[in-house]
Structures are given as C-alpha cells and as structure tokens.
Structure 1
C-alpha cells in the first residue's frame, strides 16, 4: 500500500470537501466513522494526510473561525507536511529527472508547516490571493468557454477523440521547447507577461525556466538535454506537468466549461496524486483520472464523495 522508497506511512490525500464533511457539524454517520478511523490510524503511525497550498486558498474563503477549525483538523493528521506549489514541484521534478537524482518526499513537500491560518495576516493574504485567482481564471477562460458553448454538441467518435488528444499532448511541450531553444541560442530569456483582466501575469513556462536557472543552476548542456527530453517524451516523465495538461487536454476534447474550481483541482492533483496511495477528489475528476489511466500509472486508489466510494474508502482504511 505504501509508495515504495519514499514513505514509511501511507499518504492519504484529502480534498476540501472531505475535510469539510468531517469537520462541519452536519457530518453523516459514515463520515464520522471515516474521521475516527483516520484519527486512529494517524495516532498508530500508519497514515498521514498532508496539507497543500490549495488547501489554504480554499479554506481561507470560509470565515476566519471556521477556516482555523478546518486547518487544525488537517494539521492534526499532516505531521507538518504540506505539498509545495506547482511551480516548485515541477521545476524540482525536471531538475531531478535530467540529473537522474532520487525523488523524495521533500521534492514534493515542505516540512514543519503549522497553523498558518491562525494568523489574521496570513488568513487575509490567502483570502485575497484566492479571490484574485478566481477572478483571473474567469477572465482567462471566458473566451474559450464562450466558444465551447457552440462546439459542445459536435460529436466525435472514440477514434477521433483519441487522435485529437494525441495532437494536444504535444502542444504545450512544443511551446516549452520553443522557449528552451530561445534560452539555448540566446543565453537568456526575459519573463513574458500574459495580459489577463488588465493585469500582466508571468508566463508559466518562463517561471519554470527561471526556477531552473536561478535555483537549480541549469547549465547550457542541461537545457539541451531538457529540449531532447520534451521532444521525445513530452511531459510524460514529469508527473506534475503530465497530470495538469492531460486533464486540461481532456477538458478541451470534451468541450467542457473551465471554472476556477477546475483549475484548483488541476493544481491539487498535479502535485498530490503522484505520492498519494489513497486520494479524494470529486466524481468528475475521478472519472477523468480513471479514463487517463492515472490510477494505474501512479499507483493511486481514487475516491469521490459518492456513497459507494465512501464505503469503499472506509473498508480500505480498515485493511491498513
């Protein structure tokens, strides 16, 4: 059950709805039993449930008092571990893959992260960041969502969908390769701004490249190796990028409306899924992950809030 060579405990990823259903007063008998089982397994040193950056974003949208209650519950189960933001996980995974370094818990997580939302200042900062994030996503997806209203009813057979997905798989890797080639040929890049809602937001590719240069001290030879890696494999060997863009591409194939909640899910899963043995997400995301085969690829059992899944999750906990 444990992710081999990384943890001595089973990593259980709790999505926001799972934490809420165990903390809020209206919890059902089944959720109450799940909660008690998680607490017992943690006390026995069998599991831990890390926090995440997205946990702080979403929890800060509650009242301060309620957010502290939710954060304290997850804090109790986390052993102080918290998944790093996507940018830092992706840049570290790229560096480790190119340099053939071992992937460990600190590749994905910070340790000793405690009681952040108790601070009025931190709570207000996350609340503001979360509100801004939602506004930016709404602005950024408005055009594509409007287009998908008119294309959603166009039917594609299974073969066409697979072909379309295959084409999309290399779209962002090619964009990344183009920027890496600029870096390789010119010896440097300027971080581009993307205009969204009247604001200039740094381009995600350039932010990762900046991390590779400043933090990981990538050499020219390593940049060349990364170009070759993406040309040959796309994002398949970089789990965080593979998960995010596979989910994004699936949304495009099915012409789905994209929401701030979707993008929060993409961020959660891109960092949280590779290391988690048991993972909660919503029913829509679960079905997408199963369709992509990521449960098998990453060795993760996925559960939603549907009643049969909750029963299965509780049974799974009782086998640990």
Structure 2
C-alpha cells in the first residue's frame, strides 16, 4: 500500500493506478519514483513474506524524523534489553540501507551471512537475538551503497522473505530517518501480516520535533499505530558534581508537549551519557555494562511502559 503524501498534487491519479508516477500531475511529487516503480498487481513475493512473518508475534518499527537523534542506538538497546529474558526471541532488521549501523553497534562487524536451501541465516549474538543488515553483505565497512529506490525495495523484500527468522516474539526494524522508500516498502510488504506499531525517537529541540510531527502523520496515513515517543539526549548529568545541563533546549515544550498535541503516548526521556557512545563503539549492551546510570534507569522505565501496551506485549 502506497499512500499519497500530504503535499501530493491536487490531481493525484492515486498510487494504485497504472498512471501513478507517470502523469503530468506527478511531476515534482516526492513520491513520484516509488509510485511509478511499485507493482500495480499482486506481488508474488507477498505470500512468501506472509509465510515468514506468520511465526513473528510482534513487528515494531523504530522511526525518527531526523538523523542523529539516537534511533539506531535505541533500537540496539531495546533489542539487548528484550533478549535478556532467555524465553523471548528477538530479531533486529536494519533497513537503513545506505547507512547501516547495527553491525557496529551490536558488535558483529565482519560477520558473514550464510545461505542454505531455506534462505539467509541472520547473525546471532545470543541464541535468542538475531540481526540482519546490508552491512554484513558489503566487502568493506567503508563501501558506499549508492542505490535508487527500486533496488533498496528489493533488498528489503529479501530481508522479509528470504531470511530464516524462525519463531520470534519481536522483530524490530531500524529504519532510516524521514519517510522515504524504505518505510513505504516495509509497510507495503507487511500489509497482510500487519505492523504492530511504531516507536518514534526524537530530541527535545524544535528542529527535531518539526520532523517528528511529519513522522507521526506518516504513521496515521499508512495505518501504523504509534506506540509512543521517546525523547533522547534530554540533558546531561555530570557524574562528579551532579549538575544537570540542558544541552538541547526544549524551546516549544519538548516531546511531551508535542505528544499532548498529537494525542500519542509519551514514553519518557533519556539523558545523555558518554558511556552510551563508548558501548556502541565496542558493540556491547550499555544497559548491562553501566547498570547504575540514570540513562539505564530511563531505558528500563520506557521498556516497562512499552510492555504494558497490548500491541507491544508478546504475551
């Protein structure tokens, strides 16, 4: 399912029509490329995707309107936290095709992807935590992925239909910033098997919140439930003197105020802690390495709130 953006032309032919992306009215539309390349007939891969996803209880998107707000970091720490329960099976799918971060953050750089007659095998950190990313398929970590939309969409389709995810309680999708081809592809390919919800990551300043508002509107347009908003980098607490500094000022009330305006849940704020960066660079769980940090406590409170939401709970 492709949804016309809010600024689509007045005479939009509709994303499901044969003239989608090709009509005169489509010139200049931000969705012109994906509308013109999306198959207008039933995609033969959809039944295969539905079969793979039949054993996945919860499919959760991690979104951000702007880059650099800590979306990939939150995705990784959420995956680590959920997998601490050995009875919970977790998958993390990195669909940020041109900027894959998860191999580094999860400590899996250089790991090869194995293929069998049942498909690609994701890379396992623990018996109950699996990761898939284009980063595992590149010859070098410095290689640039210079792809247009159709090729990105094709790889995302492969991640869904060809990866042997097995039975999962959670499949988390670390998406790129914004609302682009990757987001539309995931929603389209999971149309029948259903996306259970989205977690939106932001920072307190208005320049980030302005893009998050677009992200929330995107979710409403494509029918994805917003499970809640997380405000990252909310202040820095000095470990020596205890002084708190607001690094990014919440000039318009921050994420909490924005959530009140849009009627979506506010999950909580996470303060800055330099050790988060250190743990991500080393590829280890910050929550396990620094259990006494205020940021760790904030993560646990947010995850506790998420687990109280029926659309998120794996029970």
Whether TM-score is above 0.5 comes out as no
Q: TM-score, normalised on structure 1?
A: 0.27
| Structure (1/2) with the larger helix percentage | 1
Q: Under a length normalisation based on structure 2, what TM-score does the superposition of the two structures give?
A: 0.27
Structure with more contact order per residue of length (Cα contacts < 8 Å, sep ≥ 6): 1
Structure 1 or 2: more strand by fraction: 2
